[in-house]
Amino acid sequence: MKKNLRSQLLASHILTAAVMLSVMMGAVFSLFHLGGSIERIVQDNYKSVEAVLRMNEALERMESAANYFLAGASDRARIQFETSAQRFTEAHRTEANNITEDGEMQMSSEVESRFDAYVRDMRRLMDASSPMPPRDAYGLYKARLRPGYDALKARVHDILVLNQNAILRADARAKAEAQRASWLAMAGTLAALLVAAAISIGMVRSALTPLLDIAARADEIGAGKLDQHIEADRTDEIGVLAGAVNRMAARLREARDAEERRVH
């Protein structure tokens, strides 16, 4: 297959573009893969965070219901408590079905057991079939309900912090990976540029060295040294030029020989 300088230069440019495209595609793939992984992590943790916030809100309303009851608004207290307890249960079910972090399952189980104990004490307080004297009701609240509420809320908060920290770690990891991908992309681009430079230098040398040789031989021919011959084993433009110089030298030798024969 005949090759010329144009096709060789085009091939070198295509190779350089292919190297740089590979680097860019690698960086893009890495970022997309990272983005998908981080997005899944954040979505899972955010789902747990939302559930825990609903649990916390429901828990505060249950505590408020206890205060309403102690203040004498028993009917309102019972309705608010039952509604809030149902909301807490639903939110906790969402969180328990979305365990993502080490230790979260144990925390969730502890929340469930503490919540069950808290609900039992609240229903004992609000039992309409066997009303407590105010002094006993307040004693139960102070001895069991308030401490149970505080312990339960603290454990719910622990789950919240656990998932929030996971989101922060995912964010930090995403930033670190993005920075690493940027450095890799820059390193790859630099490598591609070095490859392109090496190819360009090789092409220049491939073209310039024989051209300089042809120019030197042409100078020799111009100085009268007509026995010059350039090895022309190339099929590109340089080979064509070398062949033309060889033919010119041959014609000049023939003309010189003919002139010498005529003179003698």
Lowest-confidence pick of 6-10, 55-59, 100-104, 219-223: 6-10
Q: Closest Cα to residue 77, out of 117, 116, 31, 131?
A: 131
The number of beta carbons lying within 10 Å of the beta carbon of residue 242 is 21
Confirm or reject CATH 1.20.120.1730 for domain 31-179, answering yes or no: yes
Lowest-confidence pick of 34-48, 70-84, 99-113, 197-211: 34-48
* pLDDT band (50, 70, 90) for residue 132: confident
Q: Please check the confidence at residue 146 and state whether its pLDDT lies above 90.
A: yes
pLDDT recorded at residue 89:
97
Mean pLDDT, rounded, for 168-193: 79
Q: Please check the confidence at residue 57 and state whether its pLDDT lies above 90.
A: yes
Q: Closest Cα to residue 70, out of 145, 149, 152?
A: 145
pLDDT recorded at residue 42:
62
Residue pointed to by tokens 């010498």: 260
Phi, psi for residue 131 in degrees, rounded to 5? -60, 140
Q: In whole angstroms, what is the distance from residue 81 CA to residue 161 CA?
A: 26
Q: Please check the confidence at residue 221 and state whether its pLDDT lies above 50.
A: yes
Q: What percent of the chain has pLDDT over 70?
A: 85
Q: Which residues contact 159 (CB under 8 A, 6 or more apart)?
A: 48, 52, 95, 104, 107, 108, 111
Q: Which residues contact 153 (CB under 8 A, 6 or more apart)?
A: 56, 59, 60
Which amino acid is it at 176? A
Instruction: Tell me the domain boundaries of the chain.
Output: 31-179
Q: Closest Cα to residue 12, out of 207, 238, 220?
A: 207
Q: In whole angstroms, what is the distance from residue 226 CA to residue 254 CA?
A: 10
Q: Please check the confidence at residue 37 and state whether its pLDDT lies above 60.
A: no
* pLDDT band (50, 70, 90) for residue 83: very high
Phi, psi for residue 132 in degrees, rounded to 5? -85, 145
Q: In whole angstroms, what is the distance from residue 224 CA to residue 99 CA?
A: 93
Q: CB-side exposure of 38: number of CA atoms within 13 Å?
A: 18
Token pair for 170: 């995912």
pLDDT recorded at residue 191:
79
Q: What is the mean pLDDT of the chain?
A: 83
Q: In whole angstroms, what is the distance from residue 124 CA to residue 203 CA?
A: 92
